[in-house]
Amino acid sequence: MTDAPHTHLDDQVAYVAAVQTALDATTAYYGAGDSSLDDDAYDRLVRGIEAYERAHPDQVLPDSPTGKVAGGAVEGDVPHTVPMLSLDNVFSAPDLTKWIAGLERRLARPVTAWSVEPKLDGLAIAARYRDGRLVQLVTRGDGTQGEDVTRATGTIVGLPDTLTEPVTIEIRGEVLMTNAQFEAACEKRLAHDGTTFANARNAAAGTLRAKDRKYVCELTFFGYSAMPLPANDPSGLAEQLRTLPHSQIMDLVAKLGVATTAGTTVAGIVAGTAEEIQARIEQIATLRSELPFAIDGIVIKADLATDQAEAGFGSRVPRWAIAYKLPATEKITKLKAVTWAVGRTGIIAPRAELEPVEIDGSTITFATLHNPSDITRRDLKIGDHVTVYKAGDVIPRVQAPVAHLRTGDEQDIVFPTACPNCRGEIDTSQERWRCLRGRACRAITSITYATGRDQLDIEGMGETRVVQLLNAGYIADFGDLFTLTREQLLSLDRMGETNTDKLLAAIEAAKSQPLSRVFAALGVRGTGRAMSRRIARHFGTMEAILAADAEAIQAVEGMGIEKATLMLAELTELRPLIAKLIAAGVNMTEPGATTATDGQSQSDTPAAELPLTGKSVVATGSMTGRLEALTRNQVNELIERAGGRSSSSVSARTALLVAGDNAGSKRAKAESLGVPIVTPEEFADLVSDFLL
C-alpha cells in the first residue's frame, strides 16, 4: 500500500544501492539462512524501491525485487504444478477495508465468507504425496519452480511420512522453528562451531536447505492449502479440492494427519463481515506473545472456491487473499555495552545497552540478558549486531548475535569478579549469580520494598528513614522494624514526637496485614504480589507454607518444579526473618483462605461457589464508588478473594474487564475481543461479600 512505512530513496544512486542490498539479503536468507536485514527492515526497503519505481518508471532495474516471488533471488529446478505466489500486504484496518471493497468491485458482488488465519513466520514448501506416502518436498523458489529438499523428510514435526488415507495430493504450508526448537538448534550450532542462529526464521531457512550439516535440527510444519497432483483419481479427491471452500479443505488436510493451526489458539476461522474479520485480527494479535512460534500477520482469504476462481491471480499474488501485517517484534541493532545491577535479593543481573531501535511502536535502548550463562551460551560480544525481540508486554531481550556481520573489532563481555554494589564475593554456582550477602547487600532496597504501599504499607518509612535506621544500627532487616522503640526513633534526625508516634502507629497497623502482603514483603525470588496472594490463599498460614515440600508447592497455580525448588531454598534462608516477624506478633494467616483455621474467614464458601472462580479479571482506569479508595493492588486482592485471577493485560482468555474512568486501550481491546465489561460500581455489587 502506498501509505505503508518504507525506506525513502533520494536518487538513482540510492535506488541502485537499495536494489543490490535487497538482492544480497534475499540471497543470504534463502541460502545459508543468514541476512544482514531483519524482516521489517527488508520489507521497508522493498516498499521504498517500489515507491521509487512508481515515480521513475524509466529507471527500473531488471534485478529489482519488486513484482517477483522471493525477491527474484531464488532459483530451483523442480517445476511447481501450480505457481506458489506471494501475498500483498496491508498494515491497518482502513487499508484492509479498502482492499475488501476493491475485491468486491472486481467480483461485482459481496464476498459472503472469509477465511482468517495466522500468517506464520517461516518458509513455504510443497509436500507431495502419492498414494498417501510423502515422496517429495519442494521450496517455493521463484514461484514457478523450487529446490528439492526431500532430504529434510523425517525432521519436520507435523508432516507425516504417511497420510491417514492413500491419496495423491500436494499439501502446501509453512516450515518454521518453534521457540523450543530454536533454542535447541542454537545449542547444537554453538557446540559445533561456536556460533548461534540470529533468529528462528533464519535458522529454519538454513536448516531446511542444509546438505552436509553434521548435526540435525528439528522443524515444524503447518499446512495452509492443498491441491490435486496429476494422477488417476477414482476417489474424486481432485474435484473436491477444486470446489470445496478453503476452510473445508483445511479440515480435510487435518483429517489426513497433517498439522494445521486448528490445534492452536490462533486457529483459522470463517468470518462473514469486515467487522468479524477485524475482531479475529485483534484476537490473534493479542495471543501473539503467548504462542510457541512466531507469526508476523494474519492472512485473509475469500473462502469460497467460486470467489477465488473469479478473482483470479496477478503475476505475483492471488487477487483473493491479503496479508494483514502486524508490527515487527524483532529487529537487528548493535550491542554497545553491558552493565551489571544488583537486585533487592542480591541477584546480579546483566543489562544490554543498545543503539536505539524501534520495535512494536516503542524505542528500545536497553534489553535483558538474563544471566552470565545465557551470555556465554549465545556467544555475545560488545559491538555485535544482535537481534532484539519484544512481544506484547514482555521486556525486550537480546536473542542472538548476527555472527556473519562481525568485523573482528568486537570485544568479549567482561563478567564481574566482585559484587558491583558492595564489592563482596559472588556466588557463581547457579546460572543467576548472586552476591554472597544476599538481601543484606541491598538492605535499603529490600526494606524499602517490604514497607511499600502494596506490601506492609508502613507510611513514613521511606528510603531516607531506612538509611537512618541502618546507619544507627537499629535494624538489619525489616523484621527489626517491629521491635523499634520510641526512644530509638526520637534519636533520629528530624524525628519529633508527632512523626514518631505516627510511624509507630503505622508499624503496629502493619502487623495486621494479611499473610499475602507479609509473604510479598519477604521478596521471595520467583514470586511477586500476584503469586504471593495465590500462595497465601492456597496454604492459609505461614506454618503450612513452611511445612510444604516441593510437591505441595507445585499445587499452587503457576508453580512449576523450578520455582518450587527455588522457593524452598529461599524460605530456608528467610526462616530467621520469619521467626522475628512471628515473635513480634505479625499476622501469619490469610483471610478467606480455604485452609485457614481462624474460623472467622470466608473459608465456609466453597471455591466453586465464589463469584469469580476460574475467571481471569483485568481492572483498568480510575476506580469509583466503593472501590475509589482502593489501590490497584488492593483491587487485585479483592479479585482473588472472590476466587478470580487478576491480570494486567486483556486477552482472549480474559473473562471480565472492570473499566473505571479513562480506561483507554484496554477497554478498546476488550470490546474488540467481546470481553464482558463492567463498571467499578457493578463489580463492587458482584463481589460485595468480599469487600473488607
- CATH code where residue 489 lies: 1.10.150.20
- The CA distance from 626 to 645, in Å, is 20
| Sign of the C-alpha dihedral computed for residues 166, 171, 177 and 179 taken in this order | negative
Residue 457 — left, alpha, or beta (φ > 0 → left; ψ -120 to 50 → alpha)?
left
Please list the ranges in the chain whose pLDDT falls under 50: 1-2, 73, 596-604
Domain boundary among 27, 44, 72: 72
**pLDDT of res. 442:** 87
Q: Which residue is associated with the grid cell 525448588?
A: 565
**pLDDT of res. 278:** 92
> Do residues 287 and 341 share a domain?
no
Q: Is residue 590 part of a domain?
A: no
> Do residues 391 and 446 share a domain?
no
Active site residues: 119
The secondary structure of the chain in percent helix, strand, coil, rounded to multiples of 5, reads: 40, 20, 40
Q: Is residue 427 part of a domain?
A: no
**pLDDT of res. 393:** 55
**pLDDT of res. 643:** 85
> Do residues 506 and 521 share a domain?
no
Taking CA 203 as the corner, what is the angle to CA 372 and CA 81, rounded to the nearest 5 degrees?
A: 170
**Distance of CA 527 to CAs 481, 562, 587, 692, Å?**
23, 12, 20, 24
> Do residues 538 and 644 share a domain?
no
Q: Which residue is associated with the grid cell 520469619?
A: 578
DSSP state of 328: P
Q: Is residue 208 part of a domain?
A: yes
Domain boundary among 454, 487, 510: 510
**pLDDT of res. 379:** 87
> Do residues 175 and 291 share a domain?
yes
- The CA distance from 88 to 91, in Å, is 10
> Do residues 154 and 283 share a domain?
yes
Q: Is residue 529 part of a domain?
A: yes
371 lies in which domain range?
A: 330-415
Cell, residue 511: 502487623
Angle between helices 529-539 and 632-641 (to 10 degrees): 30
- CATH code where residue 111 lies: 3.30.470.30
- CATH code where residue 670 lies: 3.40.50.10190
List CB contacts of 527: < 8 A, sequence separation 6 or more. 519, 520, 535, 563, 567
- The CA distance from 551 to 360, in Å, is 40
Q: 3-state class of 691 per DSSP?
A: coil
Q: Is residue 636 part of a domain?
A: yes
Domain boundary among 583, 598, 615: 583
pTM, to two decimals: 0.62
Instruction: Say how many domains are in the chain.
Output: 6
Whether residue 624 contacts residue 673, with contact meaning beta carbons closer than 8 Å, is answered with no
- CATH code where residue 63 lies: 1.10.287
**pLDDT of res. 689:** 85
> Do residues 282 and 394 share a domain?
no
Cell, residue 493: 534526625
Show the DSSP H helices in 153-304 as ranges. Answer: 179-193, 200-209, 237-243, 246-255, 274-287
Q: Could you tell me which of 383, 457, 635, 407 has the C-alpha nearest to residue 530?
A: 635
Distance of CA 367 to the CA centre of its chain: 14
